[in-house]
Structure 1
Amino acid sequence: MAARSILITGSSSGIGYAAAHDLKARGWRVFASCRKAEDCERLEAAGFASPQLDYADPTSIRSALAEVLEATGGTLDALYNNGAFALPGAVEDLPRGGLEELFQTNLFGPHDLTQLVLPIMRKQGHGRIVNCSSVLGLVAMPWRGAYVSSKFAMEGLTDVLRLEMRGTGIHVILIEPGPITSRIRQNAIPKFEKWIDWENSPRVEQYRSQLRKRLYQDRGPDKFELPASAVTKKLIHALEAENPHPRYFVTTPTYIGNILRRILPTRLLDRVTAGG
């Protein structure tokens, strides 16, 4: 029996890297894609098939998927849309260009790839589409408007797709990580420096005393931070369970955020989350 195949995006580090290794160890045929050629080469040296896939480049999305399908004979059992980045900053300081760049990677690219994969899964009569969301797809927090809005959008798009795929054999699933050990903070620094003119913001003192310290200082793990393998544990159930859950919560803040958004009035929830 042929090994089940999965295409994972954003595999260079963190959640995607852990998922690639753990699923390969379970016998999956893993295509661990990365945005940068040097990261693909590193994974290939470790024994992975690693097509280069940049969500911001539609041509690379098509060519990466074509590479996968050539290797599998035209089938794909699962897609894990994991790649994303953050652009911290106050919403009033967020230029449209920065928001567009982030949405291209966090939402439009995953949507493009999903649209290309769905006909393959329809033809074979089964498949799993797993989208990596966030606790910030459930509740809003200050300074994270770009990332929050992209994950809220992913939640809605995924929910509707799940409803529309009923009866097709294709399961559509959300993973809700929360604080996970990764490089998302470090990777956000160049985006912040590129797009946020904080020194000319009416919030300049808040940037100095709050956001920049949080962004540039390594304060060690967050209180509830878990390793990336904690996400893979839920991903395995999403991929291998006969009847997977629509959502998988990973960390304590995600469980709490999901409960609070359902039971608290908006003003009270604002008080809870306003501190960021």
Structure 2
Amino acid sequence: MSDFILITGCSTGIGLHLAQRLQQEGFNVLATARNDADVKRLSESGLNAHLLDLDNEKSIEQAAGWALTQSSGQLYGLINNGAYGQPGAIEDLPTQALRAQFSTNLFGWHHLIRQILPVMLKNNRGRIIQVSSLLGLVAMKYRGAYNASKFALEGYTDTLRLELRDTAVQVSLIEPGPVRSQFRSNALKKFLQNIDVNGSRHQVIYQLTLQRLQRPEPKNPFTLEPESCVAPALHALRSNRARVRYGVTFPTHLFAVLRRLLPARWLDNILCRSA
């Protein structure tokens, strides 16, 4: 019997491509999304899909129960991917917006892991893959909420890996840089919802931010397709010894090196120009 893999955030982008490709590779994919319309679309495309809202503990518990039932208690893999980015300077960020960012990008993932991990430990096998970001390695201006959530995720996942070291459950991070997705359009909605553009000292920068978020993803050699995350996920699921981290895109590899080699203020100068 093929292994069952539960994936969050499958409506678009990386999550959708992982669900489709892993199913093609022979896995029994359990795809989830937070909206009924997306779940219906996933089901119509041939995926086994279910509702999962990472901001709702009851929804998480119901989806976890569904996944364990579908797999007859033999769920092998969990890929946490569902997330979004909240733009805006930290000084302009309502506390509620920061709390919401962590609710989706970290706390929901934690609650789901707590439903699934006991089964993996009982079965003496399992893989947990956390989709992080380049911005879990280095910070960029006006992305403070997302930076903070991904830095927290990196520390959380490192700790989880250490605590599971003497078990058969392996934990990996996938760290994409720029990948083509719906990330910009989702970020634009959150920006308009939570940031007072005209009342901020960053008003001029915010106008440029609005222009950037409203443009299509730029075509450059550093921006890859969501497909780029499939090979790392396959390796993390199939290898006898999964890697701790899988960097995806050139900027991720570059800044991982620069973070180790450069003085902090030198790196700050580069990051300020990159923002």
Whether TM-score is above 0.5 comes out as yes
Shift of 1:223: 4.1
Question: In structure 1, the residue corresponding to 2:198 is in which secondary structure?
Answer: helix
Equivalent in the alignment of 1:94:
93
Q: How do residues 234-249 of structure 1 correspond to structure 2 at under 5 angstroms?
A: 234-249=232-247
Secondary structure in 2 matching 1:114: helix
Deviation at 1:222, TM superposition (A): 4.3
Identify the residue that residue 205 of structure 2 maps to in structure 1: 206
Specify the alignment match of 1:224 in structure 2.
222
- Please give the per-residue CA displacement for 1:162-199, whole angstroms capped at 9, x wherever unaligned: 00101210001100011111000011111111100111
1:253 match: 251
- Which residue pairs with 2:25 in the alignment? 26
SS, match of residue 51 in structure 2: coil
TM-score by length of 1: 0.97
In angstroms, what is the RMSD of aligned CA positions?
A: 0.9
Name 2:263's counterpart in structure 1: 265
Aligned mates of 1:218, 1:36 — CA distance in 2: 24
Cα deviation for residue 150 of structure 1 reads: 0.2
- Distance of 2:134 and 2:221 partners within structure 1: 15
2:217 & 2:261 partners in 1: Cα distance? 32
The one-letter code matched in structure 2 to 1:102 is Q
* Uncovered stretches (5+) of structure 2, i.e. residues with no partner: none
Please list every run of 5 or more consecutive structure 1 residues that lacks an aligned counterpart in the other structure.
Answer: none
CA distance in 2 between counterparts of 1:167 and 1:185 reads 40
Matches within 5 A, 1:1-276: 2-208=1-207, 210-218=208-216, 220-275=218-273, 276=275
The C-alpha deviation readout for 1:89-141, integer Å capped at 9, x for no partner, is: 11111110100111100000001101111100000001001000000000011
Do 1:181 and 1:221's aligned partners in 2 also have CA atoms closer than 8 Å? Answer: no
CA contact (8 A) 1:89 1:144 kept: yes
Tell me if structure 2 keeps the 8 A contact 1:35–1:52. yes
| Conserved? CA contact 1:177–1:254, under 8 Å | yes
Alpha carbons 2:180, 2:217 under 8 Å: kept: no
* SS of alignment partner, residue 30 of structure 2: strand
In the TM superposition, what is the alpha-carbon distance from 1:220 to its structure 2 partner? 2.8
Q: TM-score, normalised by structure 2?
A: 0.98
Amino acid at match of 1:265: P
Deviation at 1:203, TM superposition (A): 1.2
